[in-house]
Structure 1
Amino acid sequence: MNGVPRMNEEKKRILEMVEAGLITASEALTLLEALEKEPGQNVRKERRDNFFDELVNLGQKLSGSGQKQSGESSGSAHQPKDKLFQFVQSTVQKLKDFDFPLGKTVEFSHVFQESEFSPQRIKAETASGNFTIQPWQENGVKAECHVKMYGADNEDEAREAFIKNSVFYAREDKFSFSVGLKLMKVDTILYVPEAAVNDISVKLFNGSFSMRDMDVQTLEVKTANGKIEVKKSKVAEFEGETGNGQIYFIDCEGKKVEASSFNGAVHVVGSVGYTDIKSFNGNVLCDLKSDTAHTVKAQAVTGHIEIYVPEHLAMKGVLRTNLGSLQLPETGMKRVTEKEEVVQKLVRFESEKEALEQVTIEAETKTGSVSIKTTALHKNSSNEDIEKPSIFEGE
């Protein structure tokens, strides 16, 4: 029921872009096809706040009227993604310009700390700067901030403005941290107790996020410009979105992972049950490390998709591409359906063997290739025994 009105809203936004002269009618049709989302697969998708649409709108505002004129003069050979890339690149350039404004720059460090406090809910928001979460053995929370402020006359003035416009709140089981000034870059390392945390929500505008060795029930990270990196952690449910940057969910355990990047690679490596990963302009990698995996959904537009599955697991699914190739393991697979048409190649497959554990795979890319490979992974095997995927460090 909720899928229909949501789809109508997406179509309305694209039509508004046509009316504004940002894209042509033919480009709008291609954009609808490329960015169409499956309706109503889970509740968390329904409550996402149209992150990429907000990024596109921001790019329009920052790029100004000249962007519209260039859009009107561009040829039909350009894909609609080129227009969207222009918006993103304009946004990123404006953000980079923030690092070198005219006027005096003051740098200093500041520490916020609350002793005898173990948070269950963490919420952080910053306009500019990297944010890192790191566990420690102390019973309390500490935020180490390295601040670069533009336009301040001296350090005392800059520190006073920073403290006045910052929030460091620790009460009961909730912790909040935010910095409101835009002409201020704040790189933050947040130290929290090693005990498990129920919920972490981080929203950044211009900055990267990193976390490792944590135990979290729900982790949500969104950034307009920056990398998202989660390593060696237990995260029951992870949702990550970035407009410009890579997403790495490496050597982690989780029940559900949803990650999408507009311009960057998306890699998920570890013991994950349900995986849904997307990249508009970047490669997508999913390397399953245990029998807990049951569903993999991977989608790209210009990038390649690689999926690694333990060889003792059975699998079935469907692979699609418009211009690339489709590759299955050389042995143990049977092709149920295979189509190679002018506009799309499609393969439906399933394992010849039967097994208690089975993985369902859906993978689709527009211009890239899709490949599924098996790994000699067994229970309690070490990562050193696994051959590294070929695009593990690639874009």
Structure 2
Amino acid sequence: MLRTITKTLVGAVFAGGLLVPHAFAETTLNALFMAQAAYSEADVRAMTDAFTKANPDVKVNLEFVPYEGLHDKTVLAQGSGGGYDVVLFDVIWPAEYATNKVLVDVSSKITDDMKKGVLPGAWTTVQYDGKYYGMPWILDTKYLFYNKEILEKAGIKTPPKTWEELGAQAKMIQDKGLLKTPIAWSWSQAEAAICDYTTLVSAYGGDFLKDGKPDFQNGGGLSALKYMVDSYKSGLTNPNSKEFLEEDVRKVFENGDAAFALNWTYMYNMANDPKDSKVSGKVGVVPAPGVTGISEVSAVNGSMGLGVTAVSKHPDEAWKYIEYMTSQATQNQYAKLSLPIWASSYDDPAVTKGQEELIAAAKLGLAAMYPRPTTPKYQELSTALQQAIQESLLGQSSPEDALNTAAKNSGL
């Protein structure tokens, strides 16, 4: 529950025979974050501690939920009479949150320096209908990670540049007996699968919507799902991929059980950590591949922002907290976990040192980020597509039929 706690400190200061009271108001903010990729819970707590140290009149209560619970927790809290002041939100939600007045329009608080300093692609994370509903915070896309040692043993000199080449290299690795199933994906019936699918839709030049109506059942959208099904049926993809989320993929890759994995930025430094990873020092990363004659690279916009909720009783303090969390100084300090939203950070050796390979991939991947559809009915659309992907992978439906059904059930 939101509350303002007023503490009165009475100091025994005697002046002209009077006791002079000293009072200050402590504002308590409630903030909702996710308990997984990019910045860890410990990192967010450390950032917040630094903020409250600099702003002793503000206290921040932190709550962490898995990504899968972030949206519903935010929406349900709106009508509970309490709720959150600051929430983390995915790039796919501003349309819905703006339409349903979940977030405050903060366009007037976005300064010219912010507009000039933040990478242009990052702003799409928090915009809807020409207005700003927060500050971008986690700038992210999925990259192709590969095990350098396994590729070397297979006689492969360079990582794949096309999705077709990825399959061919995986077959070489499998044929040499180096790995039974060389590829790992996040294809659980969840948003994770939509992110992998979107990456492939971008590679095949597909469209989710055309004139506001579903178009993923045609062209590149259909080709993307066919690729997923072919990869799954070929035996090159880990069969457990249909239940994997990103953290499962990370663990499989770090254990040395995948030669290729599609995952977010955060996996790079985690997989290179010798304390937890068996493949430390062997991790390669490149932009997700393209398709011959259509695309050079592929990428999904997986960025996230921080916004002030419409029910916040302390919007000014909430915005101050967001400014601190998204500031260049804070982001640069934690750049090994999530790449900064600020353009000039990429010229800072403190940011790039030790992750030059990732930065090189990011320059291409971040420039090619493809959005999931911007619609207030995104949740319905995503649910329909998740089901289509699962049914196709399990052979319960053809990709054509599954996507046609998804188009009918999308709510659009």
What is the TM-score when the length of structure 2 is the normalising length?
0.22
Q: Which is strand-richer, 1 or 2?
A: 1
Quick one: higher RCO (CA 8 Å, sep 6+), 1 or 2?
Answer: 2
What is the TM-score when the length of structure 1 is the normalising length?
0.23
